[in-house]
Structure 1
Amino acid sequence: MSPNRALLWCGVAAGPLFLAVATLAGALRPGYSAMRHPVDSLVLTGAGGVQVANFLITGALLTAFAVGAWRELNRTGRAGPTPWLLGLSGIGLIGSGLFRADPVGGYPVGSPEGAVHTVSGILHDTASTLFFFGLPLACVLFALRALGDRRPVVAGYSVLTAIVFFACFLWADAGFRQNPELLFVGGLYQRTALLVGFAWIAVLALLLLRSEKAEGPVTVR
Protein backbone atom coordinates (compact mmCIF):
# COMPACT_ATOMS: atom_id res chain seq x y z
CA MET A 1 0.00 0.00 0.00
CA SER A 2 1.35 3.41 -0.98
CA PRO A 3 1.71 6.06 1.74
CA ASN A 4 -1.00 8.20 0.15
CA ARG A 5 -3.46 5.31 0.08
CA ALA A 6 -2.88 4.89 3.80
CA LEU A 7 -3.74 8.58 4.28
CA LEU A 8 -6.92 8.18 2.23
CA TRP A 9 -7.98 5.12 4.22
CA CYS A 10 -7.88 7.32 7.31
CA GLY A 11 -10.97 9.06 5.90
CA VAL A 12 -12.81 5.74 5.68
CA ALA A 13 -11.91 4.77 9.25
CA ALA A 14 -12.55 8.09 11.03
CA GLY A 15 -16.35 8.05 11.12
CA PRO A 16 -17.00 4.41 12.09
CA LEU A 17 -14.40 4.67 14.86
CA PHE A 18 -15.84 7.88 16.30
CA LEU A 19 -19.47 6.77 16.17
CA ALA A 20 -18.79 3.28 17.54
CA VAL A 21 -16.78 4.54 20.53
CA ALA A 22 -19.28 7.33 21.31
CA THR A 23 -22.25 4.95 21.06
CA LEU A 24 -20.68 2.34 23.31
CA ALA A 25 -19.48 4.93 25.85
CA GLY A 26 -22.92 6.54 25.99
CA ALA A 27 -24.65 3.20 26.52
CA LEU A 28 -22.48 2.51 29.56
CA ARG A 29 -22.98 5.87 31.33
CA PRO A 30 -25.67 6.08 34.04
CA GLY A 31 -27.96 9.07 33.50
CA TYR A 32 -26.74 9.69 29.95
CA SER A 33 -29.28 9.84 27.12
CA ALA A 34 -28.07 9.61 23.52
CA MET A 35 -31.39 11.14 22.47
CA ARG A 36 -30.95 14.23 24.63
CA HIS A 37 -27.28 14.78 25.48
CA PRO A 38 -24.42 15.72 23.15
CA VAL A 39 -21.52 13.42 22.39
CA ASP A 40 -19.33 16.12 23.96
CA SER A 41 -20.80 15.43 27.40
CA LEU A 42 -19.13 12.02 27.45
CA VAL A 43 -15.86 13.70 28.45
CA LEU A 44 -17.34 14.84 31.78
CA THR A 45 -17.49 11.62 33.80
CA GLY A 46 -14.79 9.53 35.42
CA ALA A 47 -14.39 7.56 32.20
CA GLY A 48 -14.33 10.75 30.12
CA GLY A 49 -10.81 10.00 28.93
CA VAL A 50 -12.27 7.50 26.46
CA GLN A 51 -14.19 10.22 24.61
CA VAL A 52 -11.25 12.61 24.87
CA ALA A 53 -9.11 10.00 23.10
CA ASN A 54 -11.94 9.49 20.60
CA PHE A 55 -11.88 13.19 19.70
CA LEU A 56 -8.10 13.28 19.42
CA ILE A 57 -7.69 10.10 17.36
CA THR A 58 -10.59 10.88 15.01
CA GLY A 59 -9.30 14.42 14.55
CA ALA A 60 -5.85 13.08 13.70
CA LEU A 61 -7.34 10.61 11.20
CA LEU A 62 -9.39 13.34 9.53
CA THR A 63 -6.37 15.65 9.33
CA ALA A 64 -4.28 12.85 7.81
CA PHE A 65 -7.06 12.19 5.30
CA ALA A 66 -7.07 15.88 4.38
CA VAL A 67 -3.39 15.61 3.44
CA GLY A 68 -4.07 12.57 1.26
CA ALA A 69 -7.10 14.25 -0.32
CA TRP A 70 -5.05 17.35 -1.13
CA ARG A 71 -2.39 15.28 -2.87
CA GLU A 72 -4.88 13.23 -4.89
CA LEU A 73 -7.11 16.16 -5.87
CA ASN A 74 -4.08 18.26 -6.76
CA ARG A 75 -2.87 15.56 -9.12
CA THR A 76 -6.18 15.41 -11.00
CA GLY A 77 -6.59 19.19 -11.15
CA ARG A 78 -6.43 22.00 -8.65
CA ALA A 79 -7.17 20.66 -5.18
CA GLY A 80 -9.12 23.76 -4.17
CA PRO A 81 -10.14 24.54 -0.59
CA THR A 82 -11.94 21.26 0.21
CA PRO A 83 -8.89 19.48 1.71
CA TRP A 84 -8.02 22.56 3.76
CA LEU A 85 -11.54 22.65 5.18
CA LEU A 86 -11.31 18.95 5.99
CA GLY A 87 -8.03 19.64 7.77
CA LEU A 88 -9.63 22.44 9.78
CA SER A 89 -12.46 20.08 10.67
CA GLY A 90 -9.92 17.57 11.96
CA ILE A 91 -8.20 20.27 13.99
CA GLY A 92 -11.60 21.22 15.39
CA LEU A 93 -12.10 17.67 16.66
CA ILE A 94 -8.66 17.68 18.22
CA GLY A 95 -9.47 20.98 19.95
CA SER A 96 -12.75 19.50 21.17
CA GLY A 97 -10.73 16.79 22.90
CA LEU A 98 -8.22 19.19 24.42
CA PHE A 99 -10.89 21.36 26.08
CA ARG A 100 -13.68 19.95 28.24
CA ALA A 101 -17.26 20.71 27.29
CA ASP A 102 -19.63 22.31 29.78
CA PRO A 103 -22.49 20.30 31.35
CA VAL A 104 -25.72 20.36 29.33
CA GLY A 105 -29.24 19.17 30.07
CA GLY A 106 -28.61 17.90 33.60
CA TYR A 107 -25.71 15.63 32.68
CA PRO A 108 -23.62 14.61 34.53
CA VAL A 109 -26.32 13.78 37.07
CA GLY A 110 -26.72 16.65 39.53
CA SER A 111 -25.55 19.40 37.18
CA PRO A 112 -27.93 22.25 36.22
CA GLU A 113 -30.46 21.74 33.44
CA GLY A 114 -29.45 25.01 31.79
CA ALA A 115 -26.13 25.73 30.13
CA VAL A 116 -23.04 26.37 32.28
CA HIS A 117 -20.35 28.56 30.73
CA THR A 118 -16.66 28.13 31.58
CA VAL A 119 -13.49 29.13 29.74
CA SER A 120 -12.82 25.51 28.84
CA GLY A 121 -16.37 25.09 27.56
CA ILE A 122 -16.13 28.21 25.41
CA LEU A 123 -12.85 26.98 23.91
CA HIS A 124 -14.44 23.58 23.30
CA ASP A 125 -17.39 25.14 21.50
CA THR A 126 -15.06 27.34 19.43
CA ALA A 127 -13.03 24.33 18.35
CA SER A 128 -16.11 22.29 17.47
CA THR A 129 -17.31 25.17 15.29
CA LEU A 130 -14.42 24.42 12.93
CA PHE A 131 -15.91 20.97 12.38
CA PHE A 132 -19.60 21.86 12.24
CA PHE A 133 -19.08 24.76 9.84
CA GLY A 134 -16.02 23.49 7.97
CA LEU A 135 -17.46 20.15 6.92
CA PRO A 136 -20.65 21.38 5.19
CA LEU A 137 -18.65 24.09 3.45
CA ALA A 138 -16.22 21.42 2.23
CA CYS A 139 -19.22 19.50 0.85
CA VAL A 140 -20.52 22.50 -1.07
CA LEU A 141 -17.14 23.39 -2.57
CA PHE A 142 -16.50 19.79 -3.57
CA ALA A 143 -19.93 19.76 -5.21
CA LEU A 144 -18.82 22.67 -7.40
CA ARG A 145 -15.74 20.72 -8.42
CA ALA A 146 -17.86 17.66 -9.17
CA LEU A 147 -20.15 19.74 -11.39
CA GLY A 148 -17.10 20.99 -13.28
CA ASP A 149 -16.05 17.36 -13.76
CA ARG A 150 -19.57 16.50 -15.01
CA ARG A 151 -20.39 14.28 -12.04
CA PRO A 152 -23.89 15.48 -11.12
CA VAL A 153 -24.69 12.57 -8.79
CA VAL A 154 -21.63 13.26 -6.64
CA ALA A 155 -22.41 16.98 -6.70
CA GLY A 156 -26.02 16.42 -5.68
CA TYR A 157 -25.05 14.04 -2.89
CA SER A 158 -22.51 16.55 -1.56
CA VAL A 159 -25.02 19.42 -1.52
CA LEU A 160 -27.68 17.23 0.13
CA THR A 161 -25.14 16.20 2.77
CA ALA A 162 -24.33 19.84 3.50
CA ILE A 163 -28.01 20.76 3.88
CA VAL A 164 -28.94 17.82 6.13
CA PHE A 165 -25.76 18.12 8.19
CA PHE A 166 -26.14 21.83 8.88
CA ALA A 167 -29.88 21.64 9.52
CA CYS A 168 -29.39 18.84 12.05
CA PHE A 169 -26.56 20.80 13.67
CA LEU A 170 -28.83 23.83 14.12
CA TRP A 171 -31.66 21.71 15.56
CA ALA A 172 -29.24 19.97 17.91
CA ASP A 173 -27.82 23.30 19.06
CA ALA A 174 -31.33 24.58 19.76
CA GLY A 175 -32.05 21.47 21.81
CA PHE A 176 -28.88 21.88 23.85
CA ARG A 177 -29.90 25.50 24.48
CA GLN A 178 -33.08 24.16 26.10
CA ASN A 179 -35.55 24.89 23.29
CA PRO A 180 -38.66 23.18 24.68
CA GLU A 181 -39.60 21.64 21.34
CA LEU A 182 -36.14 20.12 20.79
CA LEU A 183 -34.95 19.67 24.37
CA PHE A 184 -35.22 15.88 24.41
CA VAL A 185 -33.98 15.19 20.87
CA GLY A 186 -30.88 17.41 20.64
CA GLY A 187 -28.59 14.41 20.95
CA LEU A 188 -30.45 12.57 18.21
CA TYR A 189 -30.05 15.47 15.79
CA GLN A 190 -26.37 15.83 16.62
CA ARG A 191 -25.78 12.13 15.95
CA THR A 192 -27.69 12.36 12.69
CA ALA A 193 -25.42 15.22 11.61
CA LEU A 194 -22.33 13.23 12.56
CA LEU A 195 -23.55 10.12 10.75
CA VAL A 196 -24.36 12.06 7.57
CA GLY A 197 -21.11 14.03 7.66
CA PHE A 198 -18.80 11.10 8.36
CA ALA A 199 -20.59 9.05 5.67
CA TRP A 200 -19.77 11.76 3.12
CA ILE A 201 -16.13 11.76 4.24
CA ALA A 202 -15.98 7.97 3.79
CA VAL A 203 -17.56 8.18 0.33
CA LEU A 204 -15.11 10.89 -0.71
CA ALA A 205 -12.22 8.80 0.59
CA LEU A 206 -13.40 5.76 -1.40
CA LEU A 207 -13.77 7.85 -4.56
CA LEU A 208 -10.25 9.18 -4.14
CA LEU A 209 -8.92 5.69 -3.45
CA ARG A 210 -10.48 4.48 -6.70
CA SER A 211 -8.97 7.42 -8.56
CA GLU A 212 -5.54 6.80 -7.00
CA LYS A 213 -5.68 3.12 -7.92
CA ALA A 214 -6.69 3.88 -11.51
CA GLU A 215 -3.97 6.45 -12.11
CA GLY A 216 -1.18 5.03 -9.98
CA PRO A 217 0.13 5.87 -6.51
CA VAL A 218 1.17 9.27 -5.30
CA THR A 219 4.55 9.39 -3.63
CA VAL A 220 4.45 11.24 -0.32
CA ARG A 221 7.52 13.45 0.09
Structure 2
Amino acid sequence: MTREFTTPPASAEPLAAPPSRTNRGLLICGALAGPVFVVTVAAQALTRDGFDLRRHPISLLTLGTLGWIQMSAFIVAGLLTAAYAIGLRRVLHPGPAGSWTPPLMGVFGLGLIVGGAFRPDPALGFPPGTPKGNADPMSWHGIVHAVAPPLAFAALVLACLVIVRRAVMLRQLGWATYSAATGVVALVLVAWPGQDGLSMRLAVAVTLAFAWTTMLAFRLLPPAG
Protein backbone atom coordinates (compact mmCIF):
# COMPACT_ATOMS: atom_id res chain seq x y z
CA MET A 1 0.00 0.00 0.00
CA THR A 2 1.37 3.40 -0.89
CA ARG A 3 0.77 6.78 0.71
CA GLU A 4 0.10 9.93 -1.19
CA PHE A 5 1.65 13.16 -0.01
CA THR A 6 0.46 16.56 -1.09
CA THR A 7 2.53 19.70 -1.06
CA PRO A 8 0.83 22.81 0.36
CA PRO A 9 0.69 25.84 -1.93
CA ALA A 10 3.62 28.23 -1.69
CA SER A 11 1.44 30.91 -0.12
CA ALA A 12 0.30 28.70 2.76
CA GLU A 13 1.70 29.24 6.22
CA PRO A 14 3.47 26.24 7.74
CA LEU A 15 1.62 25.34 10.93
CA ALA A 16 3.12 24.00 14.15
CA ALA A 17 -0.17 22.23 15.01
CA PRO A 18 -2.33 20.04 12.74
CA PRO A 19 -5.51 21.57 11.31
CA SER A 20 -8.59 21.18 13.49
CA ARG A 21 -12.09 22.59 13.70
CA THR A 22 -11.23 24.22 17.03
CA ASN A 23 -8.16 25.92 15.59
CA ARG A 24 -10.18 27.23 12.65
CA GLY A 25 -12.86 28.59 14.97
CA LEU A 26 -10.35 30.40 17.17
CA LEU A 27 -8.59 31.93 14.19
CA ILE A 28 -11.91 33.00 12.68
CA CYS A 29 -12.55 34.88 15.93
CA GLY A 30 -9.41 36.86 15.16
CA ALA A 31 -10.53 37.49 11.60
CA LEU A 32 -13.87 38.86 12.85
CA ALA A 33 -12.59 41.09 15.67
CA GLY A 34 -11.33 43.85 13.38
CA PRO A 35 -14.39 44.13 11.12
CA VAL A 36 -16.73 44.07 14.13
CA PHE A 37 -14.86 46.93 15.79
CA VAL A 38 -14.15 49.08 12.72
CA VAL A 39 -17.63 48.78 11.21
CA THR A 40 -19.25 49.64 14.55
CA VAL A 41 -17.04 52.71 14.96
CA ALA A 42 -17.66 53.86 11.39
CA ALA A 43 -21.43 53.53 11.74
CA GLN A 44 -21.46 55.52 14.95
CA ALA A 45 -19.05 58.17 13.72
CA LEU A 46 -21.47 58.89 10.90
CA THR A 47 -24.65 58.86 12.98
CA ARG A 48 -23.98 59.91 16.59
CA ASP A 49 -25.21 63.43 17.26
CA GLY A 50 -22.34 65.82 17.99
CA PHE A 51 -19.54 63.31 17.33
CA ASP A 52 -16.78 64.50 14.99
CA LEU A 53 -13.94 62.07 14.32
CA ARG A 54 -11.69 64.99 13.45
CA ARG A 55 -11.87 66.16 17.07
CA HIS A 56 -13.22 63.29 19.15
CA PRO A 57 -11.32 60.06 19.84
CA ILE A 58 -13.12 56.76 19.32
CA SER A 59 -13.29 56.14 23.07
CA LEU A 60 -15.77 58.97 23.57
CA LEU A 61 -18.35 56.91 21.69
CA THR A 62 -18.72 54.85 24.88
CA LEU A 63 -20.45 57.86 26.49
CA GLY A 64 -24.03 59.04 26.28
CA THR A 65 -27.28 57.11 25.98
CA LEU A 66 -25.94 55.05 23.07
CA GLY A 67 -22.56 54.52 24.67
CA TRP A 68 -23.39 50.87 25.35
CA ILE A 69 -22.93 50.17 21.63
CA GLN A 70 -19.27 51.16 21.61
CA MET A 71 -18.71 49.58 25.02
CA SER A 72 -20.03 46.34 23.57
CA ALA A 73 -17.82 46.74 20.50
CA PHE A 74 -14.72 47.10 22.69
CA ILE A 75 -15.61 44.09 24.83
CA VAL A 76 -16.74 41.81 21.99
CA ALA A 77 -13.64 42.64 19.91
CA GLY A 78 -11.53 42.04 23.01
CA LEU A 79 -13.11 38.65 23.70
CA LEU A 80 -12.71 37.64 20.05
CA THR A 81 -9.07 38.70 20.18
CA ALA A 82 -8.50 36.76 23.41
CA ALA A 83 -9.89 33.64 21.69
CA TYR A 84 -7.65 34.45 18.74
CA ALA A 85 -4.63 34.51 21.06
CA ILE A 86 -5.49 30.98 22.19
CA GLY A 87 -5.76 29.92 18.56
CA LEU A 88 -2.38 31.46 17.78
CA ARG A 89 -0.86 29.49 20.63
CA ARG A 90 -2.37 26.25 19.34
CA VAL A 91 -1.35 26.89 15.74
CA LEU A 92 2.07 28.53 16.07
CA HIS A 93 3.65 26.96 19.14
CA PRO A 94 6.37 25.69 19.25
CA GLY A 95 7.30 27.12 15.86
CA PRO A 96 8.63 30.59 15.00
CA ALA A 97 6.75 33.37 16.81
CA GLY A 98 4.78 30.76 18.74
CA SER A 99 6.02 31.85 22.15
CA TRP A 100 5.54 35.62 21.97
CA THR A 101 2.77 36.34 19.49
CA PRO A 102 -0.07 34.67 21.47
CA PRO A 103 0.53 36.48 24.79
CA LEU A 104 1.05 39.79 23.02
CA MET A 105 -2.24 39.32 21.18
CA GLY A 106 -3.81 38.37 24.50
CA VAL A 107 -2.65 41.66 26.03
CA PHE A 108 -4.15 43.49 23.07
CA GLY A 109 -7.47 41.72 23.64
CA LEU A 110 -7.39 42.44 27.37
CA GLY A 111 -6.75 46.11 26.65
CA LEU A 112 -9.84 46.25 24.44
CA ILE A 113 -11.96 44.64 27.16
CA VAL A 114 -10.69 47.09 29.78
CA GLY A 115 -11.26 49.97 27.35
CA GLY A 116 -14.91 48.97 27.09
CA ALA A 117 -15.47 48.18 30.75
CA PHE A 118 -13.99 51.48 32.03
CA ARG A 119 -15.30 54.52 30.22
CA PRO A 120 -13.40 57.79 29.70
CA ASP A 121 -14.56 61.10 31.10
CA PRO A 122 -16.67 63.41 28.92
CA ALA A 123 -14.38 65.77 27.02
CA LEU A 124 -14.14 68.11 24.04
CA GLY A 125 -17.85 68.82 24.08
CA PHE A 126 -18.94 65.20 23.74
CA PRO A 127 -21.53 64.09 24.61
CA PRO A 128 -23.21 67.36 23.56
CA GLY A 129 -23.58 69.76 26.45
CA THR A 130 -20.41 68.71 28.28
CA PRO A 131 -17.36 70.99 28.73
CA LYS A 132 -15.26 71.77 25.66
CA GLY A 133 -11.93 70.89 27.27
CA ASN A 134 -10.48 67.73 28.78
CA ALA A 135 -11.58 66.44 32.18
CA ASP A 136 -9.53 67.93 35.01
CA PRO A 137 -9.11 66.08 37.26
CA MET A 138 -9.73 62.72 35.62
CA SER A 139 -11.90 60.14 37.35
CA TRP A 140 -10.42 56.79 38.40
CA HIS A 141 -12.22 54.98 35.58
CA GLY A 142 -11.03 57.62 33.14
CA ILE A 143 -7.43 56.97 34.23
CA VAL A 144 -7.87 53.20 33.80
CA HIS A 145 -9.30 53.77 30.34
CA ALA A 146 -6.46 56.11 29.42
CA VAL A 147 -3.79 53.58 30.45
CA ALA A 148 -5.24 50.41 28.88
CA PRO A 149 -5.27 51.31 25.16
CA PRO A 150 -1.61 52.45 24.95
CA LEU A 151 -0.45 49.23 26.62
CA ALA A 152 -2.65 47.17 24.32
CA PHE A 153 -1.42 49.00 21.26
CA ALA A 154 2.22 48.60 22.28
CA ALA A 155 1.64 44.85 22.60
CA LEU A 156 0.16 44.73 19.11
CA VAL A 157 3.08 46.63 17.60
CA LEU A 158 5.46 44.16 19.25
CA ALA A 159 3.39 41.29 17.83
CA CYS A 160 3.84 42.78 14.37
CA LEU A 161 7.60 42.81 14.84
CA VAL A 162 7.65 39.24 16.15
CA ILE A 163 5.74 38.12 13.06
CA VAL A 164 8.28 40.00 10.91
CA ARG A 165 10.99 37.74 12.30
CA ARG A 166 8.88 34.67 11.56
CA ALA A 167 8.19 35.83 8.01
CA VAL A 168 11.88 36.50 7.36
CA MET A 169 12.78 33.04 8.65
CA LEU A 170 10.19 31.54 6.29
CA ARG A 171 11.37 33.78 3.41
CA GLN A 172 7.99 35.47 3.12
CA LEU A 173 9.45 38.87 2.33
CA GLY A 174 6.22 40.50 1.19
CA TRP A 175 4.44 39.51 4.40
CA ALA A 176 7.46 40.60 6.44
CA THR A 177 7.41 44.02 4.75
CA TYR A 178 3.67 44.44 5.30
CA SER A 179 3.92 43.44 8.97
CA ALA A 180 6.86 45.76 9.59
CA ALA A 181 5.13 48.65 7.83
CA THR A 182 1.95 48.11 9.85
CA GLY A 183 3.83 48.15 13.15
CA VAL A 184 5.97 51.17 12.31
CA VAL A 185 3.23 53.28 10.73
CA ALA A 186 0.75 52.53 13.52
CA LEU A 187 3.34 53.43 16.15
CA VAL A 188 4.26 56.68 14.40
CA LEU A 189 0.61 57.68 14.05
CA VAL A 190 -0.05 57.13 17.75
CA ALA A 191 3.23 58.50 19.12
CA TRP A 192 3.50 61.57 16.86
CA PRO A 193 3.79 64.64 19.11
CA GLY A 194 1.04 67.21 19.15
CA GLN A 195 -2.72 67.06 19.57
CA ASP A 196 -3.63 68.31 16.09
CA GLY A 197 -5.31 65.51 14.20
CA LEU A 198 -4.72 63.04 17.03
CA SER A 199 -8.20 61.48 16.90
CA MET A 200 -7.90 60.88 13.16
CA ARG A 201 -4.42 59.43 13.56
CA LEU A 202 -5.71 57.07 16.25
CA ALA A 203 -8.59 55.96 14.04
CA VAL A 204 -6.26 55.25 11.11
CA ALA A 205 -3.82 53.38 13.38
CA VAL A 206 -6.61 51.23 14.81
CA THR A 207 -7.88 50.42 11.30
CA LEU A 208 -4.40 49.47 10.08
CA ALA A 209 -3.76 47.33 13.17
CA PHE A 210 -7.04 45.44 12.88
CA ALA A 211 -6.50 44.92 9.15
CA TRP A 212 -3.20 43.24 10.01
CA THR A 213 -4.70 40.98 12.69
CA THR A 214 -7.38 39.92 10.20
CA MET A 215 -4.81 39.22 7.49
CA LEU A 216 -2.71 37.17 9.90
CA ALA A 217 -5.75 35.08 10.85
CA PHE A 218 -6.57 34.34 7.21
CA ARG A 219 -2.96 33.41 6.46
CA LEU A 220 -2.90 30.94 9.32
CA LEU A 221 -6.34 29.41 8.73
CA PRO A 222 -5.92 25.72 7.91
CA PRO A 223 -7.86 24.51 4.89
CA ALA A 224 -11.43 23.44 5.53
CA GLY A 225 -12.22 19.78 5.41
Which TM-score applies when normalising by structure 2?
A: 0.85
Identify the residue that residue 60 of structure 1 maps to in structure 2: 79
Q: How does 1:30-179 map to 2 (within 5 A)?
A: 30-74=49-93, 76-77=95-96, 79-116=98-135, 117-171=138-192, 174-175=194-195
CA deviations 1:128-181 (Å, max 9, x no partner) are 12321111111011111211222221111111001111111124x842xxxxxx
Matched, 1:205 2:224: no
Matched, 1:187 2:199: yes
Which whole-Å CA distance do the structure 2 matches of 1:151 and 1:124 have between them? 37
Which whole-Å CA distance do the structure 1 matches of 2:48 and 2:219 have between them? 37
Q: How does 1:9-24 map to 2 (within 5 A)?
A: 9-24=28-43
TM-aligned CA deviation for residue 78 of structure 1 = 5.9
TM-aligned CA deviation for residue 191 of structure 1 = 1.2
TM-aligned CA deviation for residue 40 of structure 1 = 0.4
TM-aligned CA deviation for residue 2 of structure 1 = 0.3
Which whole-Å CA distance do the structure 1 matches of 2:68 and 2:93 have between them? 37
Q: Which runs of 5+ in 1 are unaligned?
A: 176-181
Larger Rg: 2
Counterpart contact for 1:32–1:107, Cα < 8 Å = yes
> For 2:54, what is the secondary structure of its paired residue?
coil
Residues paired across the two proteins, number: 204
- Aligned identity (percent) is 35
Which TM-score applies when normalising by structure 1?
A: 0.86
